[in-house]
Amino acid sequence: MDVRIKFLGGAKSVTGSRYLLEVDHYKLLIDCGLFQGLKDLRLRNWEEFPINPAEIDAIILTHAHLDHTGYLPKLVREGFSGKIYATEPTIDLVKVLLLDSAKLQEEEAEYAKKKGYSSHEDPQPLYTVKDAERVFSLLEGVDIEKSIKINPQIKATFSLAGHILGACIVSLDLMGSSQRKKIVFSGDLGRYSDPVLDPPKAITEADILLVESTYGDRDNINASPDLELAEVIKDTQRRGGVVLIPAFTVGRTQLVLYYLYTLIKEGKIPKIPVYIDSPMAIKVNDIYKRYFDFHKLDEIQLSEHDSPLNFKQLHYRKEQEESMGLNFIDDNAIIISASGMVTGGRILHHLSNRLKNPQDTVLFVGFQAEGTRGRKILDRQEPIKIFGMSHQIKCDVQYIEGLSAHADRGELLHWLSQFDSEPKMTFIIHGEEKSALGFQASIKEKLGWDAIIPEYMESFKLFDNI
C-alpha cells in the first residue's frame, strides 16, 4: 500500500482546511473548508478544485465550522457524490451553517449587483441554497470512539476535540498487506477549561500526525475570561454604550451566553438587555438540546426558563427588521451577532452603525484571521470598508483571547505530550506562518520533535509499499 498526502488548504493559514489522502488509488478528503480573509486566499475558492471532485471517494469532517466545511456545496455541484462522514451534531450544524452561508452569498451577490460596487459586471454567489441542499443526502453519521470502515483498508475513529459541539480528532487506521499504520488529524483543539465542552481527548499513538496551530505562539491565554468580560461590560456601561460582540453562532455565542448568565446571577454585571441577533441561534440552541452526550450542560441548564440560553434579559432577534431595529438602541445593551470574523452577515450593519460611537465597544471573542475585517478592526487598519463605504473607528475595541475556541500553546503542547513517542512525521497545520513557526520551535524545545510546516499544495509520501 502506498500513501500520500496533499495539502489543499489550511497550510500556513487558518482557513480552507482540506487535506487529500491517497491510499493506493482511494482518495479521501479530510475537511472541505472555505478560504476566508486575505484576498489571495479567498480567490482560491473560485479557482478550479485541484483534482476532479468526481474522483474523490469520500470525505471526513472534523467539525462544522465553515473553514472546514464551507466548500462542500461547490464540490458536490462539481461532481463529488461519495459519503461525507461526521458526528451527528456536526451533521445538524453543517446543515444550518451551509444554508446560511449559501443564503448570505446569494444576498451579497444580489446586493453588490444592485449597488454596483463589485468589480464584476454580474457578481455571482460561490454557490446557492440549492447547491447546499444537495450536500445533505451524502452526510453519514458516525459514533464517538467507535471505529468505522471507510473502505477495506481504512478505518476511522472519532474522538472529542472540545472546540465546538461535535468537533473531533480523527484517527485513521490503515491496514497494509504487511503493516498497520495510524494517521491522526487533530482537527481544531479546544481549551482545557471550557465550561461547556470537555477538553480534547488524549491520543497516545500516531505514525503520522497533523496538529493545528492557531495559537501556536500564544501562551497563558487568560483562564478567567469571565472576569475580563465583566470589566469590558462595566466600562462600557459607565459610558452609556453598547457592547457589540461579533461571534460565531455555533460555539462562541453559547459560551458568551453561559458567562453572561453566570455574571448576572452572581451580581458581577448589571442586568442589561442582551440581544442575540441571528436567524440561526435558536436552531443551534435546539441542536445543543439534542446532544447531551456532547457537552457539559444538563437538561436543567438548558431548560426553557432561567438558563444560559434562556434568561430574562436575553432576547432573540430572528427577522431582518428586528435586527435593523437594534440600530436605534442608544442605552446600555449587549448585542451578539455573526459572523465571528466580520466577513459577512448581520454584524456588518451593526458595525457600520457603531464604529463611529465613542461610547460603544466592539468586543472580539474569537480568533481573527489575517485579512478579515475583524483583524483589520483589531489592528485599527482604517478605514474599515463595509458595503463599499469607508468607516473610521471611534469606538473602543477589545479582545478577550480567553474566550476563543482554540487551545493556546501550552495546551497544544500538553496534548502532544500525551503521545507515547514521536510520530514518524508531524505536520503543523491550521496556523498563520508566525504561529506555525513559533509552535515548531516550541515543539522542538519541549518535546525534541522535528515538525514540518507544509506549503499550500505541497505533497508528501507517507508510506511506501506497506
Q: Which chain residues interact with Zn ion by CB under 5 A?
A: 65, 188
Q: Which is nearer to Zn ion, 216 or 241 (CB)?
A: 216
What DSSP string describes 137-157? TTEEEE-BT--EEEETTEEEE
Q: What share of the chain is helix, strand, coil (3-state, %, to 5)?
A: 30, 25, 45
Q: Whose Cβ is closer to Zn ion: residue 67's or residue 360's? A: 67
Which residue sits closest to Zn ion, CB atoms considered?
65
**68, 125, 137: which is closest to 97 by C-alpha?**
68
Residue closer to Zn ion (CB basis): 90 or 353: 90
13/323 with CB nearer Zn ion: 13
Measured from the CB atom, the residue of 69 and 332 that comes closer to Zn ion is 69
Look at the chain and count its residues.
466
Shortest spacing between CB 407 and Zn ion, in angstroms: 12
Nearest to 466 by CA among 193, 181, 186: 181
Least Å distance between CB 28 and Zn ion?
A: 20
d(CA 170, CA 59): 12
Cα separation, 103 vs 461, whole angstroms: 40
Q: How far is the CB of 279 from Zn ion (least distance, A)?
A: 21
Q: How many CA atoms lie within 13 A of 191 on its CB side?
A: 23
CA 221 – CA 225 distance, rounded (Å): 9
Q: Quote the least distance from Cβ 250 to Zn ion, whole Å.
A: 9
Q: Which helix (H) or strand (E) holds 83?
A: strand 83-87
Report the nearest approach of Zn ion to the CB of residue 110 (Å): 28
Q: Give the C-alpha separation, 93 to 164, whole Å.
A: 10
In the complex, least distance from residue 453 CB atom to Zn ion, rounded to whole angstroms: 19
Q: Are 352 and 377 in contact (CB under 8 A)?
A: no
Which is closer to Zn ion, CB of 27 or CB of 406? 406
